[in-house]
Amino acid sequence: MDAKFYTFVLLGLALEVLLVGRLLRQRMWRSYCFFFLYILWVCSRTVVLLALELLAPTRFAGVFWVTDAVGLPLKFLIVWEVFRHTFPKGSSLSRLASKGFVVAGTALVVFLIDAFWGFKAYAIFNSLFLALDRSFGFAGAVMTLGLVLIARYYGVPLGQNVWGMAVGFGGWASVLTANNAIFDLDHSFIPFWRIVSPLSFISMIAIWIWAMWKYDPNPAIEPVSISASEMDEWNQEWGRTVSSVRRIIHP
């Protein structure tokens, strides 16, 4: 590997360790346990990959892609963390946001089926993993954006912790999805993919460090009344959004 690889890996690892340290020092791992579990997974994966590159480089590629696939569903720990802190369990807002989760989850299944259906198209350079990463990333970005928009629409205040968590993850997932899509169209974008992917991830970790520098949870919210007509309107809008995205991706 070249110098850029070690620069990205060591910088990323330093930021990940710093983030874990802040979560432990501020005892926020108790409040954001799912977020903390994801950070531990990311940090452990970085250490393993760095050790393999130094001690057993021939095994690096295989472990990289396998652990990348394992980490795909773990990204939704971030989405769930944002959801459960933004919309208290049992509230009308929680039920409303859950509707969006169901629709976005259905869209994710469709995208995954499409990815496996086009297996032959992804036979080069482990592009199948990138197709899956794109699908999971798209679903994660849409779900996170949906949660933030619902919170903003109904005036739900977000603290620095959850706001930074959502913005960092949503931005990273969006950039990664677009980057993988461009790479999938033309494999000559490999050099750009190898730079944009780690830089966007490092940027996300930096945003998370800022967000978690001190404990700043969401302020308590007053109960919000949601009528049946509003819930129906929300379901229809989500349905139109998913249908539009499917037509764009598969005209």
Domain positions in the chain are 3-246
In tens, the pLDDT along 181-213 reads 666 666 666 667 678 888 999 999 999 999 999
| First-to-final CA distance of the chain | 40
Neighbours of 28 (CB within 10 A): 19
Please give the mean pLDDT across all residues of the chain: 77
Q: How far apart are CA 156 and CA 198, in angstroms?
A: 33
Q: What single letter denotes the amino acid at residue 127? A: S
Q: How far apart are CA 103 and CA 178, in angstroms?
A: 22
Q: How far apart are CA 173 and CA 147, in angstroms?
A: 15
In tens, the pLDDT along 48-95 reads 999 998 899 888 888 988 898 888 889 989 989 998 888 877 655 666
What's 133's DSSP letter? H
CB 46 within 8 A of CB 57: no
Sign of CA dihedral 142, 200, 116, 52: negative
Q: How far apart are CA 110 and CA 117, in angstroms?
A: 10
Question: What percentage of the chain reaches a pLDDT higher than 90?
Answer: 31
CATH number of 3-246: 1.20.1070
Per-residue model confidence (pLDDT) at position 98 = 61
CB 9 within 8 A of CB 51: no
Q: What is the 3-state secondary structure (H, E, C) of 188-235?
A: HHHHHHHHHHHHHHHHHHHHHHHHCCCCCCCCCCCCCCCCHHHHHHHH
Q: How far apart are CA 85 and CA 87, in angstroms?
A: 6
